[in-house]
Amino acid sequence: MKFLIAGLGSIGRRHLRNLVALGENDILLYRTHRGTLEDEELAAFPVETELAAALGQQPDAVIVSNPTALHMSVAIPAAQAGCTLFLEKPIASQLEELGALEEVLNYRKNKVFSAYQFRFNPGLQKIKELLEQGAIGRPLTFHCHWGEYLPDWHPWEDYRQSYAARRNLGGGVVLTLCHPLDYLSWLFGNVRELFAYTAKLSDLEVDVEDTADALLQFEEGVQGSLHLDYFRQPKRHDLEISGTSGTLCWDYESSAVRLAQGTQAEQVFPAPEGFERNQMFVDEMRHFIQVVKGEAEPLCTYADGKGSLELAWGILQAGRYRQRVIFH
């Protein structure tokens, strides 16, 4: 199988390394040479600087990992060429961009994987299992918090030039830290309505919102809060879910899950021994390889990716106009 990677920033290079680690070596790179990272680790791979030429080499799959605002410029031609798509999150920066891609997908029937790697986090997988087993009865409320100081994300580059900091590249805390919108929907189903506040509060040199607070109500009755920010030090990413007979807690740093049920002793479900962050990306890529081979269906579909983008824009619209947003 031949893989084409479009976008060789930090996430594209991570996908490249993981493909190689999983035994895939027929890899082509599409580059515009606008990045700021060193080229040394890319030297062993063929490069095309024109997308048409890259697609002319008939890749089986295209990994779209360029800045969010540029996703469709690669995804649509790749879909037209019949490729299986790996779309980094969020799948686009604007909902309006998706119409042209959907026309192609409806005609070509391409398989699309929306790259939300937290579905491969062992702690969140355990929470989903425990919820399905009824470990806390009927889930009622949740509180999710993700704050992380933007300049620490990629210390090797100027954060002010990163896509996360720039509106024209599809940045902003809501679109950039949109993973909870996917995993909360994965756990609880469809959102019925939401309300949100968004703002630029910190002294960071960004032209986008750097904080968001949203209240979400799901169709199954679960409701709760989501906080996102670019300025928390030290970083924090965790989730608490309360139900009719117990509480589940997860934090990303350890990826352990704690289960409390009334007066019973708390149960702790640790992450697998040796687990570290890249394992989610490895498992995600292993799954995508199976999708390309026809051995699996995408665990996170195009519809899932579109749904998360709809929620992100719901938060942005609610924050801008101070109005609740109702879905479905």
- The pLDDT of 63-68, averaged and rounded, is 96
SS (H, E, C) the chain: CCEEEECCCHHHHHHHHHHHHCCCCCEEEECCCCCCCCCHHHCCCCEECCHHHHHCCCCCEEEECCCHHHHHHHHHHHHHCCCEEEEECCCCCCHHHHHHHHHHHHHHCCCEEEECHHHHCHHHHHHHHHHHCCCCCCEEEEEEEEECCHHHCCCCCCHHHCHHHCHHHCCCHHHHCCHHHHHHHHHHCCEEEEEEEEECCCCCCCCCCCEEEEEEEECCCCEEEEEEECCCCCCEEEEEEEECCEEEEEECCCCCEEEECCCCCCEEECCCCCCCCHHHHHHHHHHHHHHHHCCCCCCCCHHHHHHHHHHHHHHHHHHHHCCCEECC
Domain boundary among 78, 110, 142: 110
- Under the banding of pLDDT at 50, 70 and 90, the label for residue 38 is confident
Residue 297 lies in a domain: no
Q: Mean pLDDT over all residues of the chain?
A: 96
Its pTM surpasses 0.85:
yes
Share of residues in the chain with pLDDT > 90 (%): 94
Same-domain pairing of 142 and 10? no
- The pLDDT of 287-311, averaged and rounded, is 98
Residue 127 lies in a domain: yes
- The pLDDT of 149-173, averaged and rounded, is 94
Q: Tens of pLDDT along 238-275?
A: 999 999 999 999 999 999 999 999 888 999 999 999 99
- The pLDDT of 94-114, averaged and rounded, is 97
Residue 2 is predicted with a pLDDT of: 98
CA–CA dist 20, 31 (Å, integer) = 18
Q: Is the pLDDT of residue 34 over 70?
A: no
Residue 7 lies in a domain: yes
Same-domain pairing of 74 and 207? no
Share of residues in the chain with pLDDT > 70 (%): 98
CA–CA dist 70, 65 (Å, integer) = 9
Angle between helices 98-108 and 71-80 (to 10 degrees): 20
Residue 9 lies in a domain: yes
Residue 298 lies in a domain: no
Residue 300 lies in a domain: no
**CATH number for 208:** 3.30.360.10
- The pLDDT of 98-105, averaged and rounded, is 98
Q: Is the pLDDT of residue 204 over 70?
A: yes
Residue 40 is predicted with a pLDDT of: 83
Residue 36 is predicted with a pLDDT of: 57
Same-domain pairing of 101 and 170? no
Report the relative pairing of strands 191-199 and 211-218 from DSSP bridges. antiparallel
- Under the banding of pLDDT at 50, 70 and 90, the label for residue 156 is confident
Domain that holds residue 315: 118-275+306-326
Q: How many domains does the chain have?
A: 2
- Under the banding of pLDDT at 50, 70 and 90, the label for residue 68 is very high
Same-domain pairing of 184 and 322? yes
- Under the banding of pLDDT at 50, 70 and 90, the label for residue 165 is very high
Residue 305 is predicted with a pLDDT of: 98
